């Protein structure tokens, strides 16, 4: 039997755990994890022309314009097909992006199977971002208090040197939250109307949240 590709969109405010859960899903289901935030920060780190162009949007906590984001995503999808399906971490973030993703998947005879929304209270979001450490090499995320790496400052998976993101400063984090509510939260209605939205409690340990994600993906609605 040929198994069908699985395409899962992770939705939620900054710090909700999209990256953490996308990484688990990708490992468990053999999915390609596509984190548009990581892609953008990579460009900034490498100092490419694109990185210089997007840096101020990232540092201000604003969204990168749709046409720029689409160009980056298309280039990545062309180089890494994601045949078994993808965990989309941070994409789509606007209605325009949701439509573009629908079109790309339709060409492959695929669709968004699940949109998983992780709900977390604002204060917890800000605490999570304040203590986050990220691996710029493989994209793994840690937390200084609740999920520290085995060796301080080093990634458990690839040994990369962990960094704190510039946009995790409290003032920028609050702006990202505001932008999320205005620009991205409306997508919940879109996926709800299609019956693919799974709204989950994003609090508890990452393992507990992951169990909820798996259970929700077994449900019909
Ligand atoms: P992006 O990197 O996607 O940032 P975000 O959406 O703000 O989300 P975060 O990465 O901050 O949080 P997360 O939900 O992934 O949480 P994580 O798992 O890391 O985007 C950055 C910027 O890029 C945007 O502001 C925008 O400028 C631009 N951008 C990106 N995509 C774009 C697009 N499509 N269009 C336009 N612009 C775009 O967890 C956070 C912390 O909490 C970690 O420390 C983790 O260890 C910890 N944690 C996770 N789960 C738990 C748990 N259950 N309990 C306790 N701690 C936990
Ligand atoms: Mg993330």
First-to-final CA distance of the chain: 25
Ligand 1 centroid–CA 19 distance in Å is: 6
Statement: residue 1 has pLDDT above 50: no
Per the CB < 8 A criterion, the answer to whether 200 and 8 are in contact is no
Ligand 1 pocket: which of 36, 182, 184 to mutate (most atoms <8 Å of CB)? 36
Catalytic residue among 55, 76, 165, 192: 165
User: pTM for this one?
Assistant: 0.93
Q: How far apart are CA 212 and CA 199, in angstroms?
A: 10
Identify which of 64, 1, 203, 41 has the alpha carbon closest to the alpha carbon of residue 122: 203
Q: Check residue 81 and give its pLDDT.
A: 62
Per-residue pLDDT reduced to its tens digit, 3-45: 689 999 999 999 999 999 999 999 999 999 999 999 999 899 8
Tell me the average pLDDT across 144-151.
93
């Amino acid at each position: 039997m040929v198994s069908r590709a699985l395409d899962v969109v992770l939705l939620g405010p900054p710090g909700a755990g999209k990256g953490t859960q996308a990484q688990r899903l990708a490992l468990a289901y053999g999915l390609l994890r596509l984190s548009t935030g990581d892609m953008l920060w990579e460009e900034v780190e490498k100092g490419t022309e694109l990185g210089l162009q997007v840096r101020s949007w990232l540092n201000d906590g604003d969204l990168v314009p749709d046409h720029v984001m689409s160009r980056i995503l298309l280039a990545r999808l062309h180089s890494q097909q994601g045949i078994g399906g993808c965990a989309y971490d941070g994409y789509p973030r606007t209605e325009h992006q949701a439509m573009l993703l629908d079109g790309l998947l339709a060409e492959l005879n695929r669709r968004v199977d699940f949109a998983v929304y992780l709900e977390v209270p604002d204060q917890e979001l800000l605490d999570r971002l304040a203590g986050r450490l990220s691996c710029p090499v493989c994209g793994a995320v840690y937390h200084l208090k609740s999920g520290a790496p085995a060796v301080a400052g080093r990634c458990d998976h690839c040994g990369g040197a962990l960094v704190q993101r510039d946009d995790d400063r409290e003032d920028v984090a609050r702006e990202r939250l505001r932008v999320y509510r205005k620009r991205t939260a409306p997508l919940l209605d879109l996926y709800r109307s299609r019956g693919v939205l799974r709204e989950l409690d994003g609090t508890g340990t990452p393992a507990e949240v992951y169990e909820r994600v798996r259970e929700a993906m077994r449900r019909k609605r």
